[in-house]
Amino acid sequence: MKLLLTSGGVTNDSIRSSLVGMLGKPIEESRALLIPTAQWGQPMCSPETVWRTVAGRWDGETGLVDLGWRSVGVLELTALSTIGDDRWVPWVRDADVLLVDGGEAVYLAHWMRESGLADLLPSLADTVWVGVSAGSMVMTPRIGREFVDWRPDGTDETLGVVDFSIFPHLDYPGWSSNTTESARRWATRIPGPSYAIDEQTAISVVDGAVEVISEGNWEFYDTATGT
């Protein structure tokens, strides 16, 4: 699987160009499935925010579904265990890209395991995963206690598909808990490498090669090396 891990989505030409390169064809020829599941575990989200994501109605901002896809469907992970693999697995295999929205990353990890999607990922060699916020963080080993909202007394561990962690929404206007200083404190409690990324930044992972794509600001940390 090819990963495009973002904070705010496909927000600039550099990130869009990276996405097209991963797809190996134009967006207009690509089939997408949107996964909104993480929103249900995040107290700040609601049925209205889920609808806005699915409908591409975020007050003029470019979202996930309105990039010009050949087709877009919705894949709700909480439903998959009730309908059988024979129905939903072909939907996933036929998709060129999975668009995974933000919300609560531990909740999303739970439903990826429960639904069977997590077990399917290694077989999706050519599929592109576009994560937004929690949709990116879910691929990391840990998210940090600061980002656990679903079960605050539980784990902050996620899927560990990549070996680094992500602090999203760096210096987002009005979010006092997402400052650069907060990110640096967060990083001291995260074992191994980690990145803090803003809305204009993405991290691509293709065949194990990690690349930062940015028209904004980001920082890299590694507690093992003191950087």
| Residue 155 neighbours by CB distance under 10 Å | 13
Average of per-residue pLDDT across 189-194: 95
Write the single-letter amino acid at 175.
Answer: W
Residue 31 burial by Cβ neighbours in a 10 Å radius (0-12, 13-18, 19+)? middle
The string of pLDDT tens digits covering residues 16-46 is 999 999 999 999 999 999 999 999 999 999 9
The string of pLDDT tens digits covering residues 141-186 is 999 999 999 998 889 999 999 999 999 999 999 999 999 999 999 9
Instruction: Give the separation between CA 157 and CA 30, rounded to whole angstroms.
Output: 32
Report the side by side order of strands in the sheet with 31-35.
71-74, 31-35, 97-100, 128-132, 2-6, 201-206, 209-214
- Domain map (residue ranges) of the chain: 2-222
Instruction: Give the separation between CA 167 and CA 182, rounded to whole angstroms.
Output: 9
Residue 59 has pLDDT above 70, yes or no: no
Produce one character per residue of 80-118: b if its CB has 16 or more CB atoms within 10 Å, e if not: beeeeeeebeeebeebbbbbbbbbbbbbbbbbbeebebb
Report the side by side order of strands in the sheet with 218-222.
165-167, 193-197, 218-222
Name beta bridge partners: 149: none
| Residue 185 neighbours by CB distance under 10 Å | 12
What is the pTM assigned to this prediction?
0.96
CATH of domain 2-222: 3.40.50.880
Instruction: Give the separation between CA 41 and CA 45, rounded to whole angstroms.
Output: 8
